[in-house]
């Protein structure tokens, strides 16, 4: 029986073999604090490719040393990172999965040695450092950091770029009226708050013609902040700029109480898909194959992003195929046990 979860999905010239995506998850495993791919990354990501995940999105990968969430973050701020990323990509490709990378800058949420930056000099909470307000020159340099990171991603053979515009990290710190208090061309109105992301997308487009995703936080869980309708408009603008898919998460902009439940963010993927007419990914407490299949069959999203469930079970796609009474290919070496 054909199941939508196992139907291919084509974006530009990349075809994913199914709709199952490994959601980006920081591994904090660059023990040398140099941003280089380690054996852990190779084992961890390739295991999910053996498990038949269609698209593996590498964790938040820093475009600048000061944009790391932790000193152990994966990095792409230097040409020396390309070789390790290429090896990792080749290992995942050998297992017939596609590779995405989440390009990230943590802004005021960076926990690193040295200065940290944001759209405005407001700390995330009382325990965090007060960030420096970025000058126009620093903003332009950061846009260039994203462009260079996209060029390096291409050199490493990566299939999909995802820009991290969610969870209150730097791009989100420009988008959100709760943080961005600027009065120059990067703040003061919804359009101007979008300019930082717009310039990043345009810069990436000069070196990258593959699938481009953006992860957003569709709800700030704050009365003064953004909700999904604001992101419907942003998604329309992103679509016009050539973004292919919006990966719909929520929260992280300011401290907030969130009460998650299975599929609690699917409503955002559905709203953006229907109202902005753009492909979307659903993420957040999706663990059951039937639930994943229902989201796709009801046309609420195009891709299913799984995070913690894939930490618990790297072979989730195989389990899903059994539960959904469909057959998927096994790695040749595993045929006798599949």
- Compute how many residues bind ligand FMN; rule: CB under 6 A: 20
> Which residue of 11, 53, 60, 321 would you call a contact of ligand FMN, by CB under 6 A?
60
Phi, psi of 215, rounded to the nearest 5 degrees: -90, 130
SS3 75: strand
Quick check: 303 binds ligand FMN (CB under 6 A)?
Answer: no
**266/285 Cα distance (integer angstroms):** 10
Least distance CB 56 / ligand FMN (angstroms): 12
> Which residue of 14, 25, 148, 294 would you call a contact of ligand FMN, by CB under 6 A?
25
CA distances from 156 to 17, 101, 171, 208, 265 (A): 21, 10, 24, 12, 32
Q: Are 92 and 44 in contact (CB under 8 A)?
A: no
Sequence-distant (6+) residues with CB within 8 A of 80 are 36
Q: Are 161 and 76 in contact (CB under 8 A)?
A: no
> Which residue of 18, 38, 102, 195 would you call a contact of ligand FMN, by CB under 6 A?
102
Listed in sequence order, the DSSP H helices in the chain are: 39-50, 82-94, 136-155, 170-175, 190-205, 228-240, 266-276, 289-297, 308-312, 316-323
Quick check: 148 binds ligand FMN (CB under 6 A)?
Answer: no
Window 196-215: residues binding ligand FMN (CB under 6 A): 215
Quick check: 308 binds ligand FMN (CB under 6 A)?
Answer: yes
Q: Are strands 9-11 and 14-16 parallel, antiparallel or unpaired?
A: antiparallel
Which region, judged by CB under 6 A, interacts with ligand FMN, from 24-32, 125-133, 149-157, 230-238? 24-32
From the list 280, 308, 303, the residue with the least C-alpha distance to 292 is 303
Which region, judged by CB under 6 A, interacts with ligand FMN, from 5-13, 19-27, 42-50, 189-197? 19-27
Quick check: 71 binds ligand FMN (CB under 6 A)?
Answer: no
Least distance CB 104 / ligand FMN (angstroms): 7
Quick check: 68 binds ligand FMN (CB under 6 A)?
Answer: no
Q: CB nearest ligand FMN: which residue?
A: 307
Listed in sequence order, the DSSP H helices in 7-81 are: 39-50
Least distance CB 75 / ligand FMN (angstroms): 13
**242/150 Cα distance (integer angstroms):** 15
Quick check: 112 binds ligand FMN (CB under 6 A)?
Answer: no
Window 251-290: residues binding ligand FMN (CB under 6 A): 283-286
240, two tokens: 């016009």
**12/15 Cα distance (integer angstroms):** 8
Which region, judged by CB under 6 A, interacts with ligand FMN, from 1-9, 18-26, 151-159, 183-191? 18-26
Least distance CB 130 / ligand FMN (angstroms): 24
Least distance CB 283 / ligand FMN (angstroms): 5
> Which residue of 18, 23, 72, 173 would you call a contact of ligand FMN, by CB under 6 A?
23
Quick check: 24 binds ligand FMN (CB under 6 A)?
Answer: yes
Q: Are 272 and 238 in contact (CB under 8 A)?
A: no
Quick check: 241 binds ligand FMN (CB under 6 A)?
Answer: no
Catalog residues that contact ligand FMN under the rule CB under 6 A: 23-26, 59-60, 102, 164, 166-167, 215, 249, 283-286, 306-309
């Amino acid at each position: 029986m054909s199941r939508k979860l196992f139907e291919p999905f084509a974006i530009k010239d990349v075809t994913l073999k199914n709709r199952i995506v490994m959601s980006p998850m920081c591994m904090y495993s660059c023990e040398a604090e140099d941003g280089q791919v380690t054996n852990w990354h190779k084992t961890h990501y390739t295991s999910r490719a053996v498990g038949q995940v269609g698209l593996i999105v590498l964790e938040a990968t820093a475009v600048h040393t000061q944009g790391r969430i932790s000193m152990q973050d994966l990095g792409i701020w230097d040409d020396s990172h390309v070789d390790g990323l290429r090896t990792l990509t080749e290992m995942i490709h050998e297992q017939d999965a596609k590779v995405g990378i989440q390009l990230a800058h943590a802004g005021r949420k960076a926990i690193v040695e040295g200065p940290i930056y944001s759209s405005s000099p407001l700390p995330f909470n009382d325990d965090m450092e007060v960030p420096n307000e970025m000058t126009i020159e620093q903003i332009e340099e950061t846009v260039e950091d994203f462009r260079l990171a996209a060029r390096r991603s291409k050199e490493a053979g990566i299939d999909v770029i995802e820009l991290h515009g969610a969870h209150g990290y730097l791009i989100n710190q420009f988008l959100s009226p709760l943080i961005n208090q600027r009065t120059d061309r990067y703040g003061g109105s919804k359009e101007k708050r979008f300019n930082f992301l717009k310039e990043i997308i345009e810069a990436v487009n000069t070196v990258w013609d593959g699938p481009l995703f953006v992860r957003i936080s569709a709800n700030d869980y704050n009365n003064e902040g953004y909700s999904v309708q604001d992101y419907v408009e942003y998604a329309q603008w992103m679509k016009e700029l050539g973004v292919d898919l919006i990966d719909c998460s929520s929260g992280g902009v300011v401290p907030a109480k969130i009460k998650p439940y299975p599929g609690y963010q699917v409503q955002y993927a559905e709203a953006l898909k229907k109202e902005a007419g753009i492909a979307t990914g659903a993420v957040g407490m999706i663990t059951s194959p039937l639930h994943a299949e229902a989201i796709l069959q009801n046309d609420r999203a195009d891709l299913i992003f799984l995070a913690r469930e894939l930490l618990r079970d790297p072979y989730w796609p195989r389990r899903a195929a059994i539960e959904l009474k469909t057959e998927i290919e096994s790695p040749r070496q595993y045929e006798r046990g599949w």
